[in-house]
Amino acid sequence: MELLEKLKILGSAAKYDVCATTANRSDNRKRPWGKLPSSGICHSFTPDGRCISLFKVLMTNECVSDCAYCPNRFDQNIQRVSFTPEELSKLFMQFYERNYVSGLFLSSGIAINRQRTLEKMLKAIEILRYQHKFKGYIHLKVLPGASQEYIEKAVELSDRLSINAEVPNNEYLHKLSELKDFNNDIVEPMKLIDNLSQKKNYITQSTQFIVGAAGEKDKEILATTNQLYKDVGLRRAYFSAFQPIKGTPLAKNNSSSVKREHRLYQADFLLRKYDFNFNDLIFEENGQLSENIDPKLAIALNKADKFPLEINKASYHELLEVPGIGPVSAKRIIRGRKKFSIKTLNQLKNIGAVTKRAAPFITINGKKVGDIDNLLANKEYKQLSLF
């Protein structure tokens, strides 16, 4: 088969692996990262914040595994193709030399067994690094259950490594696959990656959850994510709303909403960037985040007696608790206050705060500029606050 024909199949099959915060199904041209045309090129962010084009592809769509949501699982009637390491590296270099891409995102099904497939993936990367002297960004999806030998090599050759957690614990994992063990195949290799990459501070580790595939709750997903941030030095978690795929055992299940995925990203952002604790997050009685109230507003309303805060006196951490004020605007407020006092909402808006959201939670020089009671009377919040 022609290489480009293989690329069409294996590039398209890679769309289920997430390497950026937007869903692949997004059609928004202003935010192209995460999207994957059939050519296998998508946009993503490197750990230092640059947006780059990635050659995103599977080594093979053959797979001996049984993940219930996956179109590549062993019993699917699809055309199976594989790259050799030489083919993959050659194709990548052709794209790279034409400036179509500047990095590689390599994932794979499991052909024959995990170690053999990983060996081929690593061989392809070795060819890029050593024969073609490619020094750019490489994100390698490590297959669950990878051995120490292969993880060592992966750490040596890559910039970002990820192992898909998919679900929050073993109980849910067993609903999706009889062949994977959460601790042995996912958490232990993550720990190994963390240990081995301690000395190489440019290596980052991420993971992905398929939201709603096994009936798990947002609270469980975020508790595990939070734990992984602490235990294995995870840098990012990606959330992908479950979509049923024809022919798979979950084909008749309902899809998860993109709104749910979005709320998980918002809550995760609070844990990673806003110094919130997991215990600050507010969940509904059924363990889900509210789809109607964003997680930061829900937390603020739950601590309503703390507000309003005086914008000219609040500390950095207090400012971060105000809806509409993020880390960037909080820093600007603190810096600006050394030279002038904030007198109007407009001034705050120019600093970068979303004043419509912040107003009920602040005073400016002792004067109220919004009404928190209106928000507390909100029906959606009242329901949420019961729990």
Site residues for ligand SF4 per CB under 6 A: 63, 65, 67, 70, 72-73, 109-110
Cα(69)–Cα(175) distance, integer angstroms = 10
Q: Answer yes or no: are the C-beta atoms of 125 and 157 closer than 8 Å.
A: yes
Task: Pick the closer one to ligand SF4 by CB: 117 or 225.
Answer: 117
Residue 229, token pair as written in the block? 């941030």
CB of 386 to ligand SF4, least distance (A): 38
Give the SS3 label for residue 207. strand
Alpha-helical runs (H) found in the chain: 3-13, 85-97, 114-126, 148-157, 170-176, 188-197, 218-231, 258-273, 295-302, 316-320, 327-337, 345-351, 355-358, 372-376, 379-385
CB of 379 to ligand SF4, least distance (A): 41
CB of 164 to ligand SF4, least distance (A): 7
Task: Pick the closer one to ligand SF4 by CB: 185 or 261.
Answer: 185
Task: Pick the closer one to ligand SF4 by CB: 165 or 325.
Answer: 165
What strand order describes the sheet that includes 236-241? 41-45, 51-58, 103-107, 137-141, 160-162, 204-211, 236-241
CB of 357 to ligand SF4, least distance (A): 39
Cα(65)–Cα(239) distance, integer angstroms = 22
Task: Pick the closer one to ligand SF4 by CB: 72 or 204.
Answer: 72
CB of 173 to ligand SF4, least distance (A): 11
Task: Pick the closer one to ligand SF4 by CB: 73 or 219.
Answer: 73
